[in-house]
Amino acid sequence: MSDVVELQGATEGTDNKNESFMRALMRRPSVVAAIIVLMVLTIASIFAPLLAPFDPKAMDFSTILNYPTSKNWLGTDTMGRDVLSRLLFGGRRSLLSVVEGVSVALTLGVPIGLLAGYLGGWTDRIISRFVEMLLSIPAIILVLVVFSVLPRNENIAMVTFGVLSISTPIRVVRAATLQVTGELYITAARVSGLSHLRIVLRHVLPRVRGPIIVQGTLFCAYALLFEIGIAFLGLTGGTVDPSWGGMIGEGTKVIVQQRWLIYPPGVLSIIVILSFSIIGNTIRDVVVKDETVSQQRNSRLAKKSFSALTPSGSTDDGYLLSVTGLEVKHPTNNGDVTIVDGVTFAIRAGETVGLVGESGCGKSVSALAVLRLLPGALEMTGGGVSFEGQEITGLSDKEFNRLRGSTFAYISQEPQASLDPTFTISSLLCEVIRSHEKLTRAEAKQRAIELLALVELPDPERVARLHAYELSGGMAQRVGIALALAGRPKLLIADEPTTALDVTVQSEILALLRRLQSETGMAILLITHNWGVVSDLCDRTLVMYAGQIVEQSSAQSLFDQPLHPYTQGLLNSLPALSTTHGHLSAISGSVPPPGTWPVGCRFAQRCPHATAACEEGQIPLVSVRTNRESRCMRSDEIFPSEGR
Amino acid sequence: MIKLIRRRILFSIPLLFFVCSTTYFLEALIPGSIAQTILGIDATPQEYAAVNHSLGLDLPFLQRYWNWIFNALHGHLGNSLYNSQPVSLLINQRLEATFSVVICCTLVCLIFGVTFGVISALRGGLMDRLLDGISAIGLAIPPFFLGVVLVQLLALKFHIFPAIGYVSLSHSLSGWFNSMALPVITLSLSGIAVITKQTRDAMRDVLDRPFIRTLKSNGVPLRSVVFKHALRNASIPVVTVVGLVFVGILSGTVLVETVFAIPGLGGLAVSATSTSDIPLIQGIVVYFTLIVIAVNLVVDILYGFLNPRIRNS
C-alpha cells in the first residue's frame, strides 16, 4: 500500500514541477515570441481561405514579378499571383507535412525507445544496433526513391521521412527511460507486481515526457527544413499549388531578373524553423538547468578579487607554507555561499601535517585554493598564502604556474582518473619532467624510468609504456606520486591519497610516502579522514569542521587528549581508540552544508556539551596549552588539563 | 584495432543489404512502371511485354531480385532508362564534383567548428551566447536558400565568386577553388554549428576531469594542458559526430548541387527522381550507402587512433 502512495506522490510531484516549469518558460521573451509566431502561423494557415486577399492560384500576367505594393503586400510572382496569399496557403501544406513527419517519428520512436530502456538486455542491444544503422542512412536519398516510384506524393514522402528519422526519438527516450527505470519507485512497482504495461504507461511515460517534448519540438524544425527542401526541388506539388519551398525554387529561377521573390518564403521559413528550435532548446535548458553561475563570471570575479585581496603581513619566517584567513566562496544565483571560512595554518619544511574532518568540511577545497586549482565556480575571496616567506597570492597565473610542481605538487584521491588516458605513462612523465628541467627526450625518458623505480614500481620500463587504464589503482597512485616528484617539490599536498585503494595497498602507499619524505625532506600536507593515516605519518594535525579549523595540535597530544568535542567525537568513532566510554560512539547528525552555518558554534547542534552560550556568537580559535589551538569556548571545562 | 575494423566491415554488410533491398522492394511495388517510363503511356501491351522481357522484368520477383543483387556484386548496376548508358558510368562521372564539395565541407566544418568550440569553452559568457545564437540561425537557414542569397550577393552583385558551375580539379586549381567557395560556405554552416557545440561540451567536460588538475598542479604549461591534453581527449567525442555531419553534408548535396549547377551525385539523384529512372536511382542509393559506410570506417579508425583503450583491445 505504501508503494502506491509513494508512486502517486512521484506523479504529483511531476505535475507540480510542470507548472513552475511552464512559468519558467514564459519568463523568457524569446520563447514567448516563438510561441506567438507559431500560434499566429497556425491560425493564419487554418483560416487562409478567409484571410488571403487573393486566390493563390489566380494568375494575372499584367502584373508579374512586382515588388511589394499596397495591393500585393508582398509582391507578385512569375505568373502575377499574390505572394502573401500563396504564403498563407503554402503554410497549410508545410504545417501538415510537419505534423505527419513528427507524429510518425514519435508514434514509432517513443514506444521502441521505452521498450529498449525498460526491458534492457537483448531487446536493447538489438534496438541500439538498428538505431546505429538507421543513423548512417541519408534519409533524403530514400525519400527520393519514394518520389521516383510515387511521384508528387508528399504525404507518403513525409511518412517515409518520419520512419527514417525514428533513431533520434528512440535514443532520447531510451536514455531517459533507463534513468527512470533505475529509480527506487519503479523497482518498488515491479516488486509489488504491477503489470509492465501499467508501470510503463502510468509511471515511466510521465517522467520521460520532458525529453519527448524537447525532441518533438526540435524535430518539427528538422521536418519543416526537410519539407521545404523537397518542395524546393520541385518534387512535391508542382507549380500550381503553393508551397514555401516551391516558392523559393521559383524565385531562384528568376534570381537574375528579380531579387525579391525568394525572400518572403525564405525568411518566413527561417523564422518558423527558428521558433521551433528556440522552444525546444529552451525547454531543454530549463529541464537541465543547474544553479551554478557560468564559468565566465567565475574567472572574471576571481581576477578581480585576487587584486583586492590584502596580502597579510604575518608571513611567519621559518615556515614553508603559511596560509592566513583563507576564504573560498561559491557564487550562486541566490548570493555567494561561503565554503571555507578564514582558514589559517602553517607548515614547516620537512613537516607532515594532517588535515582531518568529515567529508564536506572544506579540506580539499582549502588545499585546492592554495594550489589555485579551485573547481568550477568556486573562488578564493579572501586571505593570503605565502611560500618561504614570499607572498604568492598576488602572483599572475603565469608566475604562479612556475611554482607548481617545483615548489608544491599535488596527488589526488582518484589515482586513475588523474592520469590523462590518451598518453602513455612515459610521455606524461617526460612532459612534466621537461617542464621543470631542460633535458633532451632521451634524458627525460631516463629520468622517468628512475622516478618510476623510485616509487617502487616493479619493471619500470614496462610500466612506462602503459596507459592509465592498464594500471591498477595502487600502481596509478604510484605513478601519480612519481609525477608529483618530477619537479622535486618542497611541499606535497596529498588529497586522501589512499581512500580509493585496497587496505593492503593503502599501507604500501603510506610506507612509500614516509620513505620518500625521509629521503627528500619534503613537507607533506595530508588530507584524510582516516585516523590511522594520521597516527602513522603526521607530526601535527589540523581538524576542520564546516569550513573552519576547530583544533590544531601535535598529532600525539591530539590522540592523548582532544581539546574540541568534534575531535573527540571523531576519535570516539574509531574502534581502536574509543576506550573513553567503553563503546563505539559516532557523532549523531551530519555536517551542516555551506550556507546553513549558524552564527555561533557550528558544531553546537551535534555537540553533547553545547550550552545556550555556544550558539550566541562567533567562536574564535584560541591558543590552549602549549602549541595547541581549539575553537571551543568550553574546552577547559570539558577537557581538564590533567589528561586522561 | 584490426578486430574493430573487421567487425565494422562485417557490420556494414547488413546495412548495405538492408538499404538496397528496401529500395528494390519499394520500386518493385509498382509493376510495369519501368516499361511505362521507357515507352510512355501510349504503347501497346505487346510493346510493354517486349520491353519487360528484354529487361528481364517478366521473371518472378525473387529471381529478378537475385539477378539484381548478383549483377550489383559484379559491379553492374544496369542501364539508365533515360539514355541507356550504364548506371555505374553515369555515376562515376559525377563522383569528382560531389567528393570535392563533401570533403571540402567536412574539413571546413572541422576546422571552424573545433576552433569556435575551443574558444567558446575557454571564454564562455558572451562568446558562448553569441555562438549559440549564430548556430541556432545556422541550423535554421535552409541551405539552398542561403545558397541563392550568397549567389545573389557574392556572385551577382559583387562578383567575388562565380555564381554557378564546377571547374574540375584537373582543369584548374584556382578555378576549382573558386567554384567550390559558395557551395562549401552554403553546406558547411550547419555542420560548423554542430561541431562547435560538440567541441565546446567535450572541452568543458574534459577540463573538469581530475587529470587536468594533476597536469596543472605538476607544473605543465597551461598551453599544453589545454591544447595537447584537453583537446586530444575532447576530440574523441567530436570525431563521433563527424560521421553524422558528413551524412548531413552528403544529404545536403541533393538540395544544393542543383542551385549551383554542380554536376554531382546529388543533382543526378534529383534528375533521376523526376524522370523516374529507377535503375539509376537504385545505383545512386548503393553509392551513397557505400560512401557513408566508408566514412564511418574512417571515423572508427580515427576513433581508435585517438583512444588507446580501443586501439589496443
Q: How confident is the model at residue A310 (pLDDT cuts 50, 70, 90)?
A: very low
Question: What ipTM was estimated for this complex?
Answer: 0.90
Q: What pLDDT is recorded for position A644?
A: 42
CA distance B168 to chain A (A): 25
Location of C-alpha cell 523568457: A28
Q: Is any Cβ of chain B less than 8 angstroms from the Cβ of A418?
A: yes
Choice among A477-491, A564-578, A619-633, B214-228 with the minimum mean pLDDT: A564-578
Amino acid at A234: G
Q: How confident is the model at residue A70 (pLDDT cuts 50, 70, 90)?
A: confident
Q: Which helix (H) or strand (E) holds B252?
A: helix B231-259
- Least Cα distance to A212 among A179, A181, A170 occurs for A170
A595: left (phi over 0), alpha (psi -120 to 50) or beta: left
Nearest-by-Cβ selection for A483 from B128, B156, B214: B214
**Residues near A521 by Cβ (< 8 Å), separated by ≥ 6?**
A349, A350
A278/B214 Cβ within 8 A: no
B307/A274 Cβ within 8 A: no
Q: What pLDDT is recorded for position B184?
A: 94
| Chain A hits for B128, Cβ within 8 Å | 294, 296
The rounded radius of gyration (Å) of the Cα atoms in chain B is 24
Q: Are A500 and A473 in contact (CB under 8 A)?
A: yes
Choice among A1-10, A74-83, B226-235 with the minimum mean pLDDT: A1-10
Nearest-by-Cβ selection for A149 from B27, B152, B270: B27
Q: Which helix (H) or strand (E) holds A206?
A: helix A205-232
Q: How confident is the model at residue A109 (pLDDT cuts 50, 70, 90)?
A: very high
Residue A578 has pLDDT above 50, yes or no: no
Q: What pLDDT is recorded for position A16?
A: 56
Residue A296 has pLDDT above 50, yes or no: no
Q: What pLDDT is recorded for position A2?
A: 38
Q: Is any Cβ of chain B less than 8 angstroms from the Cβ of A432?
A: yes
Location of C-alpha cell 536558400: B145
Query: Between A410 and B5, whose confidence is greater?
Result: A410
Q: What pLDDT is recorded for position A33?
A: 92
Q: What pLDDT is recorded for position A481?
A: 93
B126/A149 Cβ within 8 A: no
- Least Cα distance to A231 among A67, A77, A95 occurs for A95
> Which of A144, A495, A499 is best to mutate for the B interface (most B CBs within 10 A)?
A144
Choice among A125-129, A136-140, B240-244 with the minimum mean pLDDT: A136-140
Number of other residues whose CB lies within 10 A of the CB of residue A254:
16
What mean pLDDT is reported for chain A? 84
B123/A262 Cβ within 8 A: no
Q: What mean pLDDT comes out for the span A82-101?
A: 91
B258/A233 Cβ within 8 A: yes
Location of C-alpha cell 567562536: A619
CA distance B148 to chain A (A): 7
Q: What pLDDT is recorded for position A97?
A: 93
The percent of residues above 90 in pLDDT, for chain A, comes to 35
DSSP code of residue B110: H
Number of other residues whose CB lies within 10 A of the CB of residue A460:
19
Q: Are A622 and A629 in contact (CB under 8 A)?
A: yes
Nearest-by-Cβ selection for A225 from B27, B142, B236: B142
Residue in chain B nearest A468 by alpha carbon:
B309
User: How far is Cα of residue A642 from the mean position of the Cα atoms in its chain?
Assistant: 52
- Least Cα distance to B269 among A165, A226, A140 occurs for A140
pLDDT digits (tens, 9 = 90+) for A375-405: 878 888 888 899 888 888 888 888 888 889 8
Residue A311 has pLDDT above 50, yes or no: no
Nearest-by-Cβ selection for B233 from A255, A269, A422: A422
Q: How confident is the model at residue B12 (pLDDT cuts 50, 70, 90)?
A: confident
Which alpha helices (H) appear in A293-440, and where do they start and end? 295-308, 363-370, 397-403, 425-434
Which domains does chain A show, CATH number per domain? Answer: 2-40+73-308 (1.10.3720.10), 319-538 (3.40.50.300), 546-644 (no CATH)
DSSP code of residue A152: T
Residue A433 has pLDDT above 90, yes or no: yes
pLDDT digits (tens, 9 = 90+) for A507-564: 889 999 999 998 888 999 999 888 888 888 899 999 999 999 999 988 888 888 888 8
pLDDT digits (tens, 9 = 90+) for B269-288: 999 988 888 889 889 988 99
d(CA A408, CA A518): 17
Location of C-alpha cell 517519428: A105
B144/A373 Cβ within 8 A: no
DSSP A546-562: TTEEEEEEEHHHHHH--
Q: Is any Cβ of chain B less than 8 angstroms from the Cβ of A145?
A: yes
d(CA B163, CA A375): 52
Q: Which helix (H) or strand (E) holds A526?
A: strand A523-528
Q: Give whichever of A179-188, A299-308, A546-555 has the largest mean pLDDT.
A: A546-555
CB pairs under 8 A between A and B: 235
Amino acid at B216: K
Residue in chain A nearest B32 by alpha carbon:
A149
Q: What pLDDT is recorded for position A305?
A: 41
| Chain A hits for B141, Cβ within 8 Å | 270
User: How far is Cα of residue B117 from the mean position of the Cα atoms in its chain?
Assistant: 22
Residue A313 has pLDDT above 80, yes or no: no
Residue A472 has pLDDT above 50, yes or no: yes
Q: Give whichever of A517-531, B37-51, B78-92, B95-109 has the largest mean pLDDT.
A: B95-109
d(CA B245, CA B266): 16
Q: What mean pLDDT comes out for the span A126-144?
A: 86
Q: How confident is the model at residue A151 (pLDDT cuts 50, 70, 90)?
A: confident
B217/A420 Cβ within 8 A: no
